[in-house]
């Protein structure tokens, strides 16, 4: 049995879970999320816990058992506490400003880059003196937040020689040495 799949999901206070056919709806203080579940799997809500069960030990059922349990767990955590990602701009002249749902980035190109973010994602750009600019993204949807972060990061990935680019706070960039001096 899947170790992840068989673990029950605890429902925190203030969160309601409704199962309608094969659609799971989770409502909480941060918002509401829906997820369609494979009709073969059974989702049950009982005494403050959610249980996901599979009908057989087929390879496909085993794979989807843990997947859908993890997706439902991410929804419960998202609507109760939310998710937050911080990204750092490393490089001379790199700047970020936010205006509502529009993020403006100056990344060393000849033009500024404007990104319109989905309404579910809240953005904040911080710039402090003698520190790298920060982009703080918050959302109740973990999947959407990760997708937005990947899109922003793809504009200027951190390079291994000087470490310039957009990286997550706390991420370690594997550095390479430059040209070896005096090589013959």
pLDDT category of residue 3 using cuts at 50, 70 and 90: confident
User: Token digits for 39?
Assistant: 């009709």
- What are the tens digits of pLDDT across the range 83-111? 999 999 999 999 999 999 999 999 999 99
Helix axis angle for 142-154 and 59-80, nearest 10°, is: 90
- What are the tens digits of pLDDT across the range 6-30? 899 999 999 999 999 889 999 999 9
* Structural contact between residues 28 and 15, judged by C-beta atoms closer than 8 angstroms: yes
Q: DSSP character for 174?
A: P
- Output the pLDDT for position 182: 52
- What are the tens digits of pLDDT across the range 115-132? 999 999 999 999 999 999
pTM (predicted TM-score): 0.87
Q: Specify the higher pLDDT residue, 179 or 45.
A: 45
Residue 61 neighbours by CB under 8 Å, 6+ apart:
40, 41, 54, 55
Q: How far apart are CA 3 and CA 141, in angstroms?
A: 24
- What are the tens digits of pLDDT across the range 114-173? 999 999 999 999 999 999 999 999 999 999 999 999 999 999 999 999 989 999 999 899
All domains of the chain, ordered by start, with CATH? 3-80 (3.90.930.12), 83-168 (3.90.930.12)
- Output the pLDDT for position 1: 47
% the chain with pLDDT above 90: 80
Strands 165-168 vs 113-116: parallel, antiparallel or unpaired: unpaired
- Output the pLDDT for position 9: 92
* Structural contact between residues 5 and 52, judged by C-beta atoms closer than 8 angstroms: yes
């Amino acid at each position: 049995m899947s170790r992840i799949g068989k673990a029950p999901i605890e429902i925190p206070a203030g969160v309601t879970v409704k199962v309608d056919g094969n659609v799971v709806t989770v409502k909480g203080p941060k918002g509401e999320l829906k997820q369609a579940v494979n009709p073969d799997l059974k989702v049950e809500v009982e005494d403050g816990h959610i249980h996901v069960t599979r009908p057989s030990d087929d390879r496909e059922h085993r794979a989807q058992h843990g997947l859908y349990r993890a997706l439902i767990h991410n929804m419960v955590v998202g609507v109760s506490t939310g998710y937050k990602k911080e990204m750092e701009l490393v490089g001379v002249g790199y700047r970020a400003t936010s205006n509502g749902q529009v993020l403006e980035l100056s990344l060393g190109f000849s033009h500024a880059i404007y990104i319109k973010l989905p309404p579910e994602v809240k953005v904040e750009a911080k710039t402090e003196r003698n520190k790298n600019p920060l982009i703080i993204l918050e959302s109740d949807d973990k999947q959407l937040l990760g997708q937005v972060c990947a899109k922003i990061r793809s504009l200027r990935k951190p390079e291994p020689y000087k470490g310039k680019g957009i990286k997550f706070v706390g991420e370690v960039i594997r550095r390479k040495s430059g040209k070896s001096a005096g090589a013959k």
